[in-house]
Chain A
Amino acid sequence: GDSVTQTEGPVTVSESESLIINCTYSATSIAYPNLFWYVRYPGEGLQLLLKVITAGQKGSSRGFEATYNKETTSFHLQKASVQESDSAVYYCALGSNSGTYQRFGTGTKLQVVP
């Protein structure tokens, strides 16, 4: 089936250090997957961080970036230097051009410490 697997949390990173949260997907019923990263800050709903709908392309936002790799079926989230304000839960999600509902990973809680 269609599914998303991402890094188990919580992940603790020191401020100004680099971050990578792994995401891999399985899209057995989706011909052209769309990939998303959402972020959920405490007390808020999920909001889009970045998305990529074309294989081989990179998305970026707020210093985060992720590349859609069709060969490895991966969409890892990276940031070169994290800040305390990046502390949140990050969700990788899989969608499709046909509008099949999005499937989400388990979420990765990130805590950035001073």
Chain B
Amino acid sequence: EAAVTQSPRNKVAVTGGKVTLSCNQTNNHNNMYWYRQDTGHGLRLIHYSYGAGSTEKGDIPDGYKASRPSQENFSLILELATPSQTSVYFCASGDAYRPNSDYTFGSGTRLLVI
């Protein structure tokens, strides 16, 4: 079954440290997305990608980098983690050839920066 898998499920990081959140999809979708979920804000888009080698800034990219080395993998990188980046992060994939289709989401990564 096609799926989006995120790792780790939970992460505790220290302020100033580097954090990498990973996402793998087996949907063969071109498009992939990283959102963060915070109370009162809903899901906000951080970065997205149209395919291997492509990364684009979303609505709140500051403090984050993204990497898409292959069709299947899309990583979110926090070079210098800060407590304000404590959140739940969701990765999703979408079919570029069916733009009105829904996204497939991973189960989320809960990040705590102390």
Interface residues as binary, A12-54 with B (CB distance below 8 Å gives 1, 0 otherwise):
0000000000000000000000101010000111111001010
Pair count A-B, CB < 8 A = 57
Which one of B37, B58, B92 lies within 8 Å of A107 (CB-CB)?
Answer: B37
Interface centre among B4, B43, B107 (most CB of A within 10 A): B43
Chain B interface category by residue count: 20 to 34
Chain B positions within 8 Å of A, measured between CB atoms, are: 4, 31, 33, 35, 37, 40-45, 48, 58, 90, 92, 94, 96, 99-100, 102-103, 105-108
A34-B100, A51-B100, A96-B99 given; name 13 further pairs at CB < 8 Å.
A45-B92, A53-B100, A97-B100, A99-B31, A99-B96, A101-B33, A101-B58, A101-B94, A104-B42, A105-B42, A106-B41, A107-B37, A107-B42
Residue of A nearest to B9 (CB): A43
Residue of B nearest to A5 (CB): B42
Chain A positions within 8 Å of B, measured between CB atoms, are: 4, 34, 36, 38, 43-48, 51, 53, 91, 95-99, 101-107
